[in-house]
Chain A
Amino acid sequence: MTGEQIIFLIVGAVTLICGLLVVTVRNLVHAALWLVATLFGVAILYTLLNASFLAVVQVVVYIGAIAILFIFAVMLTRRQAAETGPSVNTNWWVGALMSVLTFAGLAYLLQTWSGFSKQASSIPSGFDAINQLGEALTSPVGYVLPFEVASVLLLAALVGAVYLAFNKK
Protein backbone atom coordinates (compact mmCIF):
# COMPACT_ATOMS: atom_id res chain seq x y z
CA MET A 1 0.00 0.00 0.00
CA THR A 2 1.73 3.15 -1.10
CA GLY A 3 0.96 6.48 0.52
CA GLU A 4 -0.96 7.57 -2.54
CA GLN A 5 -3.22 4.54 -2.31
CA ILE A 6 -3.91 5.16 1.36
CA ILE A 7 -4.80 8.77 0.67
CA PHE A 8 -7.05 7.72 -2.20
CA LEU A 9 -8.86 5.17 -0.02
CA ILE A 10 -9.43 7.65 2.79
CA VAL A 11 -10.57 10.47 0.49
CA GLY A 12 -12.74 8.14 -1.57
CA ALA A 13 -14.40 6.70 1.49
CA VAL A 14 -15.05 10.18 2.92
CA THR A 15 -16.50 11.37 -0.40
CA LEU A 16 -18.85 8.41 -0.69
CA ILE A 17 -20.00 8.64 2.92
CA CYS A 18 -20.65 12.36 2.62
CA GLY A 19 -22.53 11.69 -0.62
CA LEU A 20 -24.68 9.14 1.16
CA LEU A 21 -25.37 11.65 3.91
CA VAL A 22 -26.38 14.26 1.33
CA VAL A 23 -29.19 12.06 0.04
CA THR A 24 -30.38 10.74 3.38
CA VAL A 25 -30.34 13.46 6.04
CA ARG A 26 -33.61 15.07 6.82
CA ASN A 27 -32.48 18.65 7.46
CA LEU A 28 -31.82 20.20 4.06
CA VAL A 29 -29.26 22.75 5.24
CA HIS A 30 -27.25 19.87 6.66
CA ALA A 31 -27.60 18.11 3.32
CA ALA A 32 -26.20 21.19 1.56
CA LEU A 33 -23.27 21.27 4.00
CA TRP A 34 -22.58 17.58 3.42
CA LEU A 35 -22.61 18.41 -0.29
CA VAL A 36 -19.86 20.93 0.40
CA ALA A 37 -17.83 18.16 2.07
CA THR A 38 -18.43 15.85 -0.90
CA LEU A 39 -17.36 18.52 -3.38
CA PHE A 40 -14.23 19.13 -1.35
CA GLY A 41 -13.45 15.41 -1.48
CA VAL A 42 -13.88 15.48 -5.25
CA ALA A 43 -11.49 18.45 -5.42
CA ILE A 44 -8.88 16.41 -3.53
CA LEU A 45 -9.42 13.59 -6.03
CA TYR A 46 -8.70 16.02 -8.87
CA THR A 47 -5.44 16.96 -7.16
CA LEU A 48 -4.53 13.25 -6.93
CA LEU A 49 -5.16 13.07 -10.68
CA ASN A 50 -2.65 15.91 -11.31
CA ALA A 51 -5.45 18.22 -12.47
CA SER A 52 -4.74 20.89 -9.86
CA PHE A 53 -6.27 23.72 -11.87
CA LEU A 54 -9.54 21.81 -12.01
CA ALA A 55 -9.35 21.24 -8.26
CA VAL A 56 -9.13 24.97 -7.56
CA VAL A 57 -11.86 25.74 -10.12
CA GLN A 58 -14.01 23.07 -8.43
CA VAL A 59 -13.66 24.83 -5.08
CA VAL A 60 -14.33 28.25 -6.57
CA VAL A 61 -17.30 27.31 -8.77
CA TYR A 62 -18.96 24.47 -6.89
CA ILE A 63 -18.28 25.32 -3.24
CA GLY A 64 -18.05 29.08 -3.64
CA ALA A 65 -21.08 29.53 -5.85
CA ILE A 66 -23.28 26.46 -6.34
CA ALA A 67 -23.27 25.27 -2.72
CA ILE A 68 -23.98 28.81 -1.51
CA LEU A 69 -26.83 28.98 -4.01
CA PHE A 70 -28.23 25.73 -2.63
CA ILE A 71 -28.07 27.03 0.94
CA PHE A 72 -29.83 30.23 -0.09
CA ALA A 73 -32.53 28.28 -1.94
CA VAL A 74 -33.09 25.95 1.03
CA MET A 75 -33.45 28.89 3.37
CA LEU A 76 -35.83 30.71 1.07
CA THR A 77 -38.17 27.77 0.43
CA ARG A 78 -38.91 26.50 3.90
CA ARG A 79 -42.55 26.58 4.75
CA GLN A 80 -41.83 26.41 8.43
CA ALA A 81 -38.73 26.04 10.54
CA ALA A 82 -38.94 22.29 11.02
CA GLU A 83 -39.06 19.77 8.21
CA THR A 84 -42.35 17.89 8.21
CA GLY A 85 -43.13 14.65 6.53
CA PRO A 86 -40.76 11.93 5.52
CA SER A 87 -37.60 12.84 3.70
CA VAL A 88 -38.03 10.16 1.04
CA ASN A 89 -40.89 9.09 -1.20
CA THR A 90 -43.24 6.27 -0.50
CA ASN A 91 -41.51 4.25 -3.23
CA TRP A 92 -38.02 4.95 -2.06
CA TRP A 93 -37.10 1.27 -2.12
CA VAL A 94 -37.57 1.28 -5.90
CA GLY A 95 -35.09 4.15 -6.09
CA ALA A 96 -32.64 2.27 -3.90
CA LEU A 97 -33.03 -0.85 -6.04
CA MET A 98 -32.49 1.15 -9.23
CA SER A 99 -29.33 2.78 -7.89
CA VAL A 100 -27.89 -0.55 -6.71
CA LEU A 101 -28.68 -2.12 -10.10
CA THR A 102 -27.09 0.87 -11.86
CA PHE A 103 -23.95 0.55 -9.82
CA ALA A 104 -23.73 -3.19 -10.40
CA GLY A 105 -24.37 -2.77 -14.11
CA LEU A 106 -21.75 -0.04 -14.46
CA ALA A 107 -19.16 -2.01 -12.50
CA TYR A 108 -19.78 -5.13 -14.57
CA LEU A 109 -19.64 -3.27 -17.89
CA LEU A 110 -16.45 -1.43 -16.93
CA GLN A 111 -14.58 -4.48 -15.81
CA THR A 112 -15.15 -6.21 -19.12
CA TRP A 113 -13.15 -3.38 -20.76
CA SER A 114 -9.57 -4.27 -21.51
CA GLY A 115 -8.07 -1.08 -20.12
CA PHE A 116 -9.85 -1.37 -16.79
CA SER A 117 -6.80 -1.91 -14.60
CA LYS A 118 -4.50 0.44 -16.42
CA GLN A 119 -1.78 2.12 -14.43
CA ALA A 120 -1.10 5.78 -14.83
CA SER A 121 1.73 6.78 -17.13
CA SER A 122 4.04 9.36 -15.62
CA ILE A 123 3.60 12.93 -16.70
CA PRO A 124 6.42 14.16 -18.96
CA SER A 125 8.58 16.72 -17.23
CA GLY A 126 7.97 20.30 -18.23
CA PHE A 127 4.35 19.56 -18.94
CA ASP A 128 2.37 22.59 -17.87
CA ALA A 129 -1.27 21.64 -17.66
CA ILE A 130 -2.49 25.22 -17.29
CA ASN A 131 -0.68 26.35 -20.41
CA GLN A 132 -1.98 23.43 -22.43
CA LEU A 133 -5.49 23.94 -21.11
CA GLY A 134 -5.41 27.65 -21.94
CA GLU A 135 -4.22 26.92 -25.45
CA ALA A 136 -6.82 24.20 -25.92
CA LEU A 137 -9.62 26.46 -24.79
CA THR A 138 -8.71 29.41 -27.00
CA SER A 139 -7.08 28.05 -30.13
CA PRO A 140 -9.19 27.79 -33.29
CA VAL A 141 -8.02 24.20 -33.86
CA GLY A 142 -8.79 23.50 -30.24
CA TYR A 143 -11.98 23.84 -28.31
CA VAL A 144 -12.72 27.52 -28.64
CA LEU A 145 -16.17 26.90 -30.13
CA PRO A 146 -17.51 24.82 -27.22
CA PHE A 147 -15.95 27.36 -24.88
CA GLU A 148 -17.77 30.26 -26.50
CA VAL A 149 -21.02 28.32 -26.69
CA ALA A 150 -20.68 27.57 -22.96
CA SER A 151 -20.29 31.32 -22.35
CA VAL A 152 -23.49 32.00 -24.28
CA LEU A 153 -25.19 29.24 -22.30
CA LEU A 154 -24.11 30.87 -19.05
CA LEU A 155 -25.41 34.23 -20.28
CA ALA A 156 -28.76 32.66 -21.14
CA ALA A 157 -28.89 30.97 -17.74
CA LEU A 158 -28.06 34.27 -16.02
CA VAL A 159 -30.82 36.15 -17.80
CA GLY A 160 -33.27 33.28 -17.33
CA ALA A 161 -32.57 32.86 -13.63
CA VAL A 162 -32.91 36.58 -12.95
CA TYR A 163 -36.15 36.74 -14.89
CA LEU A 164 -37.66 33.66 -13.25
CA ALA A 165 -36.79 34.63 -9.71
CA PHE A 166 -37.61 38.30 -10.11
CA ASN A 167 -40.26 39.42 -7.71
CA LYS A 168 -42.55 41.54 -9.81
CA LYS A 169 -44.45 43.54 -7.24
Chain B
Amino acid sequence: MSPRSSDSSPTPDIYVGLLFVSLAALITGIVFLVLELYKYGWQVAP
Protein backbone atom coordinates (compact mmCIF):
# COMPACT_ATOMS: atom_id res chain seq x y z
CA MET B 1 0.00 0.00 0.00
CA SER B 2 1.13 3.47 -0.74
CA PRO B 3 1.45 5.99 2.07
CA ARG B 4 -1.53 8.13 2.42
CA SER B 5 -1.57 11.71 3.10
CA SER B 6 -3.33 13.00 6.23
CA ASP B 7 -5.57 15.43 4.44
CA SER B 8 -6.88 13.09 1.76
CA SER B 9 -9.57 10.63 2.83
CA PRO B 10 -9.51 7.20 1.13
CA THR B 11 -12.13 6.56 -1.45
CA PRO B 12 -14.12 3.32 -1.06
CA ASP B 13 -13.86 1.17 -4.11
CA ILE B 14 -15.49 -2.09 -5.31
CA TYR B 15 -13.44 -4.21 -3.01
CA VAL B 16 -14.82 -2.47 0.02
CA GLY B 17 -18.23 -3.25 -1.26
CA LEU B 18 -17.18 -6.84 -1.69
CA LEU B 19 -16.01 -6.91 1.90
CA PHE B 20 -19.42 -5.63 3.03
CA VAL B 21 -21.07 -8.30 0.98
CA SER B 22 -18.76 -10.89 2.52
CA LEU B 23 -19.63 -9.57 6.00
CA ALA B 24 -23.32 -9.88 5.24
CA ALA B 25 -22.83 -13.48 4.08
CA LEU B 26 -20.90 -14.34 7.24
CA ILE B 27 -23.63 -12.82 9.43
CA THR B 28 -26.34 -14.73 7.53
CA GLY B 29 -24.46 -18.00 7.91
CA ILE B 30 -23.91 -17.37 11.59
CA VAL B 31 -27.66 -16.68 12.02
CA PHE B 32 -28.49 -19.98 10.32
CA LEU B 33 -26.14 -21.89 12.61
CA VAL B 34 -27.50 -20.06 15.69
CA LEU B 35 -31.02 -21.00 14.76
CA GLU B 36 -29.93 -24.58 14.23
CA LEU B 37 -28.26 -24.71 17.57
CA TYR B 38 -31.37 -23.16 19.11
CA LYS B 39 -33.36 -26.21 18.00
CA TYR B 40 -31.10 -28.52 20.05
CA GLY B 41 -31.42 -26.29 23.14
CA TRP B 42 -27.92 -25.05 22.88
CA GLN B 43 -26.67 -28.53 23.76
CA VAL B 44 -23.71 -29.46 21.62
CA ALA B 45 -23.06 -32.95 23.10
CA PRO B 46 -25.68 -35.37 24.34
Do these two chains interact?
no
Which A residues have a C-beta under 8 Å from some C-beta of B? none
